[in-house]
Chain A
Amino acid sequence: MSSQDIPEENVPAERASDDHAGHGHGPVAVADEQNPFADPGLPPHEHRIQDIDERAAKRSERLVAMLFVLSMVATVGFIASYVAIPNDKSVYIFPLGHISALNFALGMCLGVALFSIGAGAVHWARTLMSDVEIADERHPIEASPEVKAKVLADFKDGAKESALGRRKLIRNTMFGALALFPLSGVVLLRDLGPLPGTKLRHTLWSKGKLLVNMNTNEPLRPSDVAVGSLTFVKPEGLEEHDEDFQKEIAKAALMIIRLQPEDIKDKQELEWSYQGIVAYSKICTHVGCPISLYEQQTHHALCPCHQSTFDLSDGARVIFGPAGHALPQLQIGVNAEGYLEALSDFKEPVGPAFWERG
């Protein structure tokens, strides 16, 4: 559709060009019975004080400049407070209370500096920059038939001159090159691997590994663990300064609690415990948060992230929340010297479920 097809009364902008503002202000179409949807055009332009009164314009200019200068002062103040204020100085400021003087000064200066730039720019745009309304008419995006014909003709000429149809060797090798090139990007995806293999199914725990108290770094004896107590342990041989400590403890973290053996409801839990001492993975089976909000009277352990609740007296069964399966239990016993030891690795993968977990 070209502009010639638009009915005359719907094209108000062009006719307005004789207006002194030049942009869409002038006589507008009025809706009547023949044409109920006539374009009313733009309302008449109204001037601001600054457009009429040069003194008001000067005032605005000074105000904008003042805001920009204030911003400069605040930036200088930021640098000055950074240099001058010691970082352990504390002041009382209502209603924030006692607060570090340095933090407060830096924050205030930065805030004032940025706010003044913004406020100055807004005031400048509102009072001094041109505020004349502009109408920019839409136009058809289709090219004219002549242009289209010429482009098509040029394309045909170009294809003929390149002789792609005749020199098949060049054409085919070019297609080959273009098709192969993206492969270099695809190959890089290999660095997302290698697949974890069986890493997710195994932890550092194995038969004979002692349970080492994380508070004291000493192996635990059954007599150390009181009923109602909570202790966090790590596998023997894993030290906090080891390079892979975080990686390993993320899977091997264990909480040790002691119940009265008659309180243990789950048969396997009782078998895998030692005199009421049970060891459960500390990693939530939902998304892997460390679970250790343990209520010693109810024997419930609660995950702080999504409130999954596990009953540690009943095989760490999920009794509330989004976790999908019970916390894995570690089978423990006592070695010849009387220290608590693991009797095997966890029998199932710890932590959140994954695709191949089964």
Chain B
Amino acid sequence: MKKLSARRRHPLAAVVVLLLALAATGGLYAAFAPAGKAQADETSQSLGITEGQKLYSVGCASCHGTGGQGSSDGPSLVGVGAAAVDFQVGTGRMPAQQPGAQIPRKKVIYTQAEIDQLAAYIASLGAGPAIPTKNQVSPEGADIAKGGELFRTNCAQCHNFTGKGGALTHGKYAPSLEGVDPKHIYEAMQTGPQNMPSFPDTTLTEKNKQDIIAYLDAVNGDDTESPGGLELGGLGPVSEGLFGWIFGLGTLVAVAVWVAARTAKAKKS
């Protein structure tokens, strides 16, 4: 007891007490409250929805409202669909760490099973795009050339010609598409996360989306070859020109200075 009282003035003591209290309250609530409701429907889907709702109230409700209706801190989730949840939570963007110009991609903190439960709950709030199947997002058999055309028409203005990303206004940016799961690319096109406009199946068909994924896989995939060597970020003529001017011309100037600085005379002065 002496040991404990010696540490009660520790700066972290309040935090520890708070956490313990929260865990106790939450644990008690979880143990008693929802038990009555869950008995009504025992199918696996509705179980998923119930589980998802639990996860939602813990991780999402503070910003998006207790019923997904949205608040001043987060938009309404009614009708965004399972695809939006799978994208936002599956890429680690949600839950957001802090408000700002843009919520960045970060470490995913939920398991895929939990994400599916969350998605099932959000999908139950209102009809929206579903999570695409493996076949829908596979680049197999898609038309890479057509995908390139579609990408340059619809995507390249923000994401750069090979999906390297680019800047937008006021600190917002289009992220790089390198190493992004094809499923998430598909969902992003379908749902239009954050400031990205959406490209629903009615204007960019399922086949179109598959072509775009195949194009990205070809130009920006894990085993894409870069015949030119040094890519310099793949950002286009600006970075290449800058490199040429500074390092190319710089080398020439340095060589010229070196040649002229050395005397050819026998007697060094």
Contact = CB atoms under 8 A, between A and B. Distances in A.
B110 interface: no
Contacts of B225: 90, 98, 100
Given A96-B229, A215-B153, A231-B203, A48 B197 contact: no
A334 to B, nearest CB: 15
B72 interface: no
Contacts of A95: 230
A228 interface: yes
A229 interface: yes
Contacts of B208: 215-216
Interface in B191-224: 192, 194-200, 202-205, 208
Interface residues of A, number: 50
B192 A229 contact: yes
A296 B198 contact: yes
A138 interface: no
A122 B259 contact: yes
A230 B199 contact: yes
Contact of A215 (B195, B203, B259): B203
B265 A228 contact: no
Contacts of B204: 215-216
A49 interface: yes
Contact of A103 (B154, B166, B228): B228
B203 A229 contact: yes
Interface in B148-181: 150, 153-154, 157-158, 166, 168-169, 172, 174
A298 B229 CA distance: 39
B230 A309 contact: no
Contacts of A307: 169
B226 A99 contact: yes
Interface string A93-119: 101111110011000000000000000
B237 interface: no
B266 interface: yes
Interface of B: 150, 153-154, 157-158, 166, 168-169, 172, 174, 192, 194-200, 202-205, 208, 225-230, 259, 264-267, 269
Interface of A: 46-52, 90, 93, 95-100, 103-104, 122, 126-127, 131, 213-216, 220, 223-226, 228-232, 257, 290, 292-298, 300, 302, 304, 307, 309, 320
5 contacts: A52-B266, A215-B153, A290-B157, A295-B168, A298-B195
Given A90-B227, A225-B203, A302-B169, 14 more contacts: A46-B266, A47-B265, A98-B226, A99-B228, A99-B229, A100-B225, A223-B202, A229-B192, A229-B198, A230-B199, A295-B195, A296-B192, A297-B195, A307-B169
